[in-house]
Every structure is written in structure tokens, then in C-alpha cells.
Amino acid sequence: MIETPLDKLIQGRKSIRKYTKDTPPEEWIKKMILSAMKAPSPTNSQPVRFIRILSPELKEQLHQAMEHGRESLLEAIKNAPSSKRLKNWVNAYFRFSEFMFLAPVLFAVGTTSTFVSLSERLFRAGMREQGHKKHRDVDIAVGLALKGYLLKGEELGLGSCILTAPLIFIEEPEIIFPLKGVEIKCFITTGYPDEEPDHITRKDFNEIYREM
Ligand SMILES: Cc1cc2nc3c(=O)[nH]c(=O)nc-3n(C[C@H](O)[C@H](O)[C@H](O)COP(=O)(O)O)c2cc1C
């Protein structure tokens, strides 16, 4: 089968966690955001926000909050059953978070709370028992936006990695980010790759695909 340019981008992309020190051109980062912005969203609400973290003070504050979160977690699980395994998990998640502070480009990605689904409106009007799991729609929008960002970066020769592990340690990043009405969903790092990790295997097609 002939590989199209899109196939190559999709097949070639992998998460990159180690970067050279160089910062990619601003124009490229803008192109990646513009690509993210073309993603579909519920009722075209476009709820996704990319918050570039440039300030060294803010980074330091985040880093410290993460350290503090890790210490609190380790303290809390000290006497838990299977505490050794939990401790290993906590430390692994920390390792898979900390590299974000070395990335040339770091974004927090969040959603605005302005989108209210019909399901939520019906609940508020007393016509539904249960409130719509209100973050579901906007979370789909985040994923789609990130995919646009990642693929454009891949085309430009940049590597990226999405991170949610830091949110284990910083439960309320909104306290650190002075942004009203934006809920942080993840972080994303970008830069010129300084590693060549293997592709991570994917499940078999038949495990993913069903017909009914
Ligand atoms: C929602 C989400 C959260 C993720 N969080 C982290 C993270 O916190 N730290 C990390 O190193 N990688 C994180 N990743 C990257 C995944 O580990 C990676 O995408 C997966 O192992 C497949 O590898 P690949 O991207 O190289 O194909 C995350 C990916 C997604 C989609």
C-alpha cells in the first residue's frame, strides 16, 4: 500500500521527552496552535485554551508544587497496604512529569467553562435525574485539538509529549495559574528531539475493531 504524507506523519509520530536546548521558531509554534484550532468541538464552542508557560518563576512554582505533592503522597501512602508498589508508582509518575521543566516549549492545556451541553441544560431545568458528565464533550475537544498540534509538529520535525501525570501531584493547578474559568486538563511539551525512542507497539486491529 502506498504511504501518503498523512500516513507517514501518523506512523512516524512518537512521544518525545528529551529535547535539544534550541527553541523552535515562534512561527512554527503558532502553526501548531492554528492546526489545533481547526479541530471540531461541540457546537463549535472551541473550549480549548493553550497557555504557554514562559515565566521561570511560574515554572519554579509549578515544580515546587509538584515536589510538595509528591512528598505529601509518599507520606500518605506510607502505611497503606502495598505501600511499596504505590511508592514505585508515585516515583515513576514523578519521573514521567519532571522532564516538562527541561522542555523548550511548555503549555498547560485547559478548557473554558462556557460550553454548556443540552444535557446539562435539561438537568438544570430539572428534567434529567443526573447532570451530564459535563467534562466529557470538552475533553474530546482537547484530544482532537492536541492531535492537530502533534501532527503539525511532526510535519515540522518537532517532537512533543502530552502529560497528565503532573496533575497527580498538583491537584489544583488553577491556583497557580491566574486564569479565571479555565480548567487545566494536561500539559504538552515541544522541542527538537534529542532522543530516538522506539515506537511503542499498538494492540491488534481485531482487539480495537468490532462489528455489530
Ligand atoms: C492523555 C495522555 C496523558 C499522557 N500523560 C503522560 C505523562 O504524564 N507523562 C509522559 O511521559 N507521557 C504521557 N503520555 C504519553 C503516553 O505515554 C504515550 O502517548 C503512549 O505511551 C504511546 O506512546 P507514543 O506517544 O510514543 O506512541 C500521555 C499521553 C496521553 C494521550
Cα–Cα distance, 145 to 36 (Å, whole number): 4
In order of their start, the domains of the chain are: 25-72+100-196 (3.40.109.10)
Closest alpha carbon to 145 in 26, 10, 29, 33 = 33
Ligand 1 center–CA 190 separation, angstroms: 13
CA 209 to ligand 1 centroid distance, Å: 22
Q: Is the CB of 99 under 6 A from ligand 1?
A: no
Give 106-158 pLDDT, tens digit per residue: 999 999 978 788 877 888 898 887 655 555 789 999 999 999 999 999 999 99
Give the per-residue pLDDT at 23: 98
Average pLDDT of the residues of the chain: 93
Predicted TM-score (pTM) above 0.75: yes
For residue 189, the surrounding DSSP H or E stretch is strand 182-191
pLDDT at 135: 52
Calculate what percentage of the chain has a pLDDT beyond 70.
Answer: 97
* Structure confidence at residue 109 (pLDDT): 98
Percentage of the residues of the chain whose pLDDT score is greater than 90: 81
Whole-number Å distance between alpha carbons of 42 and 40? 7
Q: Label residue 5 by pLDDT band (50, 70, 90).
A: very high
pLDDT value for 98:
96
The pLDDT of residue 134 is 52
Q: Look at residue 186 in the predicted model and tell me its pLDDT.
A: 97
Report pLDDT digits (tens) over 62-117. Answer: 999 999 999 999 999 998 889 999 999 999 999 999 999 999 999 999 999 787 88
State the closest ligand 1 atom to the C-alpha of 14, by its place in the atom list counted from 1: 26
Give, using CA atoms, the residue closest to atom 31 of ligand 1.
162
H/E run at residue 163: strand 159-163
